[in-house]
Amino acid sequence: MIDKPPVEDALEQVWFKSSYSDSSSGNDCVEVAAAPGAVRVRDSKDLPGPHLGFTPATWAAFLTYASAS
C-alpha cells in the first residue's frame, strides 16, 4: 500500500464504481481510480474521505486472486 495523497489529488481523479458493488441505494459502493503509479480505492459513502493507494502490480495481483476465488 502507498501513502495517502492530499485530498485535492483524490478529487481530481476519475473514479469508477466497482462492477461488484450492488446496492439498492446506489451510494454503497467501492470506487477505483487510476493515477500515475497508483490505483486508488475509496468507499463512496465517505466522500471526500480517505482512500487507499496500491501499486499497479499489487492491484493486479489482488484482481488475479479475487477472480480465482
Q: Is 58 exposed, middle or buried (0-12, 13-18, 19+ CB in 10 A)?
A: middle
Distance CA 29, CA 43 (A): 6
Distance CA 26, CA 5 (A): 26
pTM listed for this prediction: 0.66
13-69 pLDDT tens trace: 888 887 766 656 666 688 889 988 899 998 888 777 788 999 999 999 998 988 887
Task: Give the pLDDT score at 8.
Answer: 47
Map out the domains of the chain as residue ranges: 7-68
Residue 17 near residue 29, CB atoms below 8 Å = yes
Rounded to whole angstroms, the maximal C-alpha distance in the chain is 35
